[in-house]
Amino acid sequence: MSVVTIQRKVLEKNDEVASVNRRYFAERKMFVINMVSSPGSGKTSILECTLEHLKSGLNIAVIEGDVQTDLDAQRVAKFGVPVAQIVTNGGCHLEAKLVNDALSSLQLSGTQLLVIENVGNLVCPANYDLGEAMKVVVASTTEGDDKPLKYPGMFHKASVLLVNKIDLVPYVNCSPDRLKKNALQINPTLKIFETSCTTKQGIPEWCDWLKSEVVKQLRA
């Protein structure tokens, strides 16, 4: 019982800071997505493709979360966008306070889209609100098609699913249709895109949709 009580208090404190973050974003009409996945899904590659496609038309900033290194931040920085690295030193997820602290190190004037790339984990990040507008979950075909059933909490709380590495379907034991069916069984409202960072399949569609969501935020 004490463990449950402590966890509840931790989440309540996180939600308080998340509300502060959300007000900060809303005041600046900044659209914020929290990208989540298991390790190796291609989340950073998706982010690179997104930056390549959208950075000429939108002002974008990135917060990178990683367990140990700043390698992903180095990859993102090559696109000339503001980027802040959060190293969790073994922590399995980002928390709202870490994001709040990172905001002060970013040049966010005029930023229209902020992408938070969370630590590779499909469990803990589902429970932590960062103040984002939506969670975007990336599931690759190399992971199989049962991920939504094994990690329902994340898929339930996500707004978008990117079925990534779709070009590898002929070589892996995964049915994209079954993966999508399983995901929609958990969350019937999911917006789904099939993507490949190698062939660029689905990237324009994903980016066009994301840009339209940013525009909605700017006009609100």
3-state SS string for 28-91:
CCCEEEEEEECCCCCHHHHHHHHHHHHCCCCCEEEEEEECCCCHHHHHHHCCCCCEEEEECCCC
Phi, psi of 138 (to 5 degrees): -110, 125
Residues of the chain with pLDDT under 50: 1-4
Q: Which CATH superfamily is domain 2-219 in?
A: P-loop containing nucleotide triphosphate hydrolases (3.40.50.300)
DSSP secondary structure string for all residues of 156-214: HH-SEEEEE-GGGGGGSS--HHHHHHHHHHH-TT-EEEE--TTT-TTHHHHHHHHHHHH
According to the model, what pLDDT value does residue 7 have?
A: 58
Output the pTM of the full model: 0.93
According to the model, what pLDDT value does residue 5 have?
A: 56
